[in-house]
Structure 1
Amino acid sequence: MSEAAAMTRDSGRESGGAPAADRPLVEARHVVKHFDLGGHFLQRERPTVKALNDVSITIRRGEAFCLVGESGCGKSTLARVVMGLLDPTDGEIRFDGTRIDALGHRARKPFHRRMQMIFQNPYASLNPRRTVQQTLEEPVRFHFPKLSDAEVKAKVEQVMVSVGNDPGWGNRYPHEFSGGQRQRISIARALMVDPDFVVADEPISALDVSIQAQVLNVMMDTRERLDLTYLFITHDLSVVRHFGSRVGVMYLGTLCELADTKTLFETPRHPYTRILLSAIPRVTTEEMQPPGLPGEVPSAMNLPSGCVFHDRCPLANARCSAEVPKPQSQADGTLVACHAVEEGRG
């Protein structure tokens, strides 16, 4: 990292509170997010989507924290609540020890620089009317208005090179690039303001398999070189195994299991986690048939009683359908919200 980049990063940290080595960078505490769908005025109860239900995670400095689960489980909603794009219905978000979800726009501005996001669709996340140079210069000029034109252009060139882009692309428009090139431009845009924390919401799912590895390698390289902290959202567990340091498994707006990546893959505990991992393609034909998952994911508008997974769980009993499980810490630090694991039924 350049001296100028280090200075701007330190300046941002001072404005948001001095960092402490023993303090998580990001915390989501008992987050609830419900979406009111409105409805007819004669209805007694307005339909509500219960997207997040008492979710708590902590993200340590320098790690790649991965959130996995089926589509619609609340991964992206949690990311948007953390980033301030959505307000939580209940709970709180803390960044570097400061609660930020209740801050006004002006008070939150220093945190906007330190928290950046890479979106899923590179074809929609870049303004088609702006050149690459204009797209990358805009956040720098907004957050660092005292930089000269020459310093801004030098910063753009430096970041473009760092993510494997040609600095000569600056005068071209997004439609002139492939999906992988656009996503590397999106990564460059996120890095332009020297953030501490980057949310990557399914950043490779819209890309061809042949270039997914290239984009992942760029993200892994920038994490190590710039000491970035990632919240990486994906449904692809094979990616998590190589990219993540810790993993949170979500189902229907709840956190089922949270563990170090190696521990999760070697000794998954929650029945849902086991089923997800069994679906990863294996080398041998004997392992190619994962056990089926009965039924379908219930509606988030009408959550099951007790454990939200109980009606599809092979280990469920009467307690599971009546009582919501609380996350329990295991001997190795894994958190599991499951009555069957607590009682040793699995």
Structure 2
Amino acid sequence: MTAQPLVQIRDLKKRFDLSGNFLEQLRFRNGRFVRHQEFVHAINGVNLDVQKGEALCVVGESGCGKSTVARTVMGLLSPSEGEIHYGGQRIDDMEGKSVLPYRQKMQMIFQNPYASLNPRMTIQQTLEEPIKFHHPNWSKTEIRDKVHEVMHSVGIDPDWGTRFGHEFSGGQRQRIAIARALAVDPEFIVADEPISALDVSIQAQVLNLMMDAQEDRGLTYLFITHDLSVVEHFGTRVAVMYLGTVCELADTKTLFDTPRHPYTQALLSAIPRLEDDRPNHIRLHGEVSTPVHLPSGCVFHGRCPYANDRCKQEVPQLIATDGGAQVACHAVEEGRL
């Protein structure tokens, strides 16, 4: 019997209204006024379980809904439909003080270290703020000791505390952002492309720091990225997203060795490799659909070489395959692929 997931995402949907206010929605057609509404369908029925202690990577091209999933899980966006559970407790409908314990257990590392640190606060103040908020009864000495401890754990000199964010490089700022997330001893960290704004030479350092923190503190990660080489190095399991839906979910080795979904195969074929026996680069044809005008049926059918009439009409569900992966593809289900 498998243990209960730490985080459960059930039938998650998120729409953003593009229509403006009521007056802006009115259109004059055929001699009468009609109301016209348009939405960005950012997430369309995502189901994910994050097991305690793992690093679940969510990958996909820009605009596929990865970051929206991250922000919705963290409560920065409210879902249009669906539920989010943490440790068996539904949290997406919580308000006020009842959500505070979960705010402490769940922390986020943002993509851009140049924008996520307050330019008016010193590093010491930045790291003290979440500790003071979640532990209002702690003394100044306890707070200072905790700040020094997390600074040491991410390789920052505590003497830097009097300086401001603009005095540091991107890699140093991201270490500070990681220290801020660790300051309240969370269990679960959502990392939204935390290394994409950094130089390649610094990316490995920050990744290794996050892996060390996971081992030392027993952390669980939901790691958002579009860099597949990072996933291979860091991830326990991988969820591949396309246009707001999960099209494949598997453990890292299975996904990289035997990708089943046509979109995953195309993604992995684009990674530069040195081996001679690697498959040729798969070129996808057809137009990329937009999340405003979602295609019917499988969202990938317009670019899929295996699509048939069923793919154009019926939305595929995630089904388990022999290799232990879950794939949302009619061609795989019917044995055509």
Specify the TM-score bucket, using the shorter chain as the normaliser.
over 0.9
Partner deviation per Cα, 1:82-127 (whole Å, 9 max, x = no partner): 0001111100000010000011122111100000000000000000
Equivalent positions of 1:218-297 (< 5 A) are: 218-284=209-275, 290-297=281-288
Show the counterpart of 1:302.
Answer: 293
Greater fraction of residues in helix: 1
Show the counterpart of 2:112.
Answer: 121
| Counterpart residue type for residue 263 of structure 1 | T
Equivalent positions of 1:75-114 (< 5 A) are: 75-114=66-105
Aligned partners of 2:246, 2:36: CA distance in 1, in Å?
27
Aligned partners of 1:110, 1:259: CA distance in 2, in Å?
31
Show the counterpart of 2:26.
Answer: 42
Q: Which runs of 5 or more residues in structure 1 are unaligned?
A: 1-19
| Counterpart residue type for residue 37 of structure 1 | L
Shift of 1:285: 7.2
Look up the SS of the partner of 1:185 in the other structure: helix
Is residue 245–residue 261 contact of structure 1 (8 Å, CA) maintained in 2? yes
Show the counterpart of 1:74.
Answer: 65
Query: Number of residue pairs matched?
Result: 327
| Counterpart residue type for residue 186 of structure 2 | P
User: Normalising by structure 1, what TM-score?
Assistant: 0.92
Is residue 306–residue 322 contact of structure 1 (8 Å, CA) maintained in 2? yes
Aligned partners of 1:103, 1:27: CA distance in 2, in Å?
15
Partner deviation per Cα, 1:261-290 (whole Å, 9 max, x = no partner): 011001110000000000001115785961
- Between 126-135 and 97-106, the greater mean CA deviation after superposition: 97-106
Show the counterpart of 1:190.
Answer: 181
Kindly tell me: are residues 289 and 340 of structure 1, through their superposed partners in 2, closer, same or farther at Cα, counting changes over 3 Å? closer
The one of 4, 29, 37 equivalent to 2:10 is 29
Q: Which runs of 5 or more residues in structure 2 are unaligned?
A: 28-34
Show the counterpart of 2:52.
Answer: 61
Aligned partners of 1:167, 1:330: CA distance in 2, in Å?
50
Partner deviation per Cα, 1:116-173 (whole Å, 9 max, x = no partner): 0000000000000000000000100110111111111010111011011111110000
Aligned partners of 2:199, 2:303: CA distance in 1, in Å?
33
Aligned partners of 1:49, 1:168: CA distance in 2, in Å?
46
Show the counterpart of 1:8.
Answer: none
Is residue 288–residue 302 contact of structure 2 (8 Å, CA) maintained in 1? no
Aligned partners of 2:217, 2:169: CA distance in 1, in Å?
26
Show the counterpart of 2:323.
Answer: 332
Q: CA RMSD in A?
A: 1.4
| Counterpart residue type for residue 111 of structure 2 | Q
Partner deviation per Cα, 1:50-105 (whole Å, 9 max, x = no partner): 00111000000000000000000000001111000111110000001000001112
Which stretches of structure 1, 4 residues or more, deviate above 4 A after TM superposition?
Answer: 284-289
Show the counterpart of 1:201.
Answer: 192
Show the counterpart of 2:30.
Answer: none
- Between 114-123 and 326-335, the greater mean CA deviation after superposition: 326-335
Aligned partners of 1:21, 1:172: CA distance in 2, in Å?
47
Look up the SS of the partner of 1:120 in the other structure: coil
Shift of 1:200: 0.3
| Counterpart residue type for residue 31 of structure 1 | L
The one of 138, 146, 167 equivalent to 2:158 is 167
Is residue 282–residue 288 contact of structure 1 (8 Å, CA) maintained in 2? no
Show the counterpart of 1:6.
Answer: none
| Counterpart residue type for residue 310 of structure 1 | H
| Counterpart residue type for residue 66 of structure 1 | C
Aligned partners of 1:86, 1:297: CA distance in 2, in Å?
26
Look up the SS of the partner of 1:310 in the other structure: coil
| Counterpart residue type for residue 143 of structure 2 | V
| Counterpart residue type for residue 198 of structure 1 | I
- Between 328-337 and 272-281, the greater mean CA deviation after superposition: 328-337
User: Normalising by structure 2, what TM-score?
Assistant: 0.95
Q: How much identity, in percent, do the aligned residues show?
A: 64
* Residue 341 (structure 1) aligned with residue 332 (structure 2): yes
Aligned partners of 2:16, 2:302: CA distance in 1, in Å?
24
| Counterpart residue type for residue 289 of structure 2 | P
